[in-house]
Amino acid sequence: MFSGGIAKLLEAIDEQHLANIRLFTDDALKLLVKLPDASLDAAYLLYPDPWPKTRHHKRRFVSPTTLGELARVLKPGAVFRFATDIEDYANWTLAHILRAPAFRFAPARPGIWHEPYPGWQPTRYEHKARLEGRTVSFYFEFERV
């Protein structure tokens, strides 16, 4: 767990007097399995750890197991948004989604996945990637069918 990031988040929640935020600082899959069926309107996975070494790919969040749980907890028609600047992880995610019958990938036009979502606020990881010269990001949107 990144305690500095959690502390900054808690500070922002306190400063903005937000009462509708809950934090879960463990593996998100543990939370997903506890949620009721069709209980979420949307899910976002923004700049997850890419686990770039092949031997670590099993640690990536996107997997048949997590996609199955996401499909279960997302309402029909809900969106799952995934953003990354790592092309390998983008390809990995797309390949897994295309094999998951509960999700549909239907971009409005070719290349739209390189355009940020409407109202997008860049993450600090996106900013860091641009500073490191990684200028191509992927903003996938998948629909729960």
| Residues catalogued as catalytic | 49
Tokens of 35: 């949620």
What is the number of H-type helices and E-type strands within the chain?
5, 4
Q: Letter for the amino acid at 142?
A: F
Angle 17-121-145 from CA coordinates, rounded to 5°: 100
Residues present in the chain in total: 145
Cα separation, 115 vs 85, in Å, equals: 12
Asked whether 47 and 124 are in contact (CB, 8 A), the reply is: no
- CB neighbours of residue 93 within 10 Å: 24
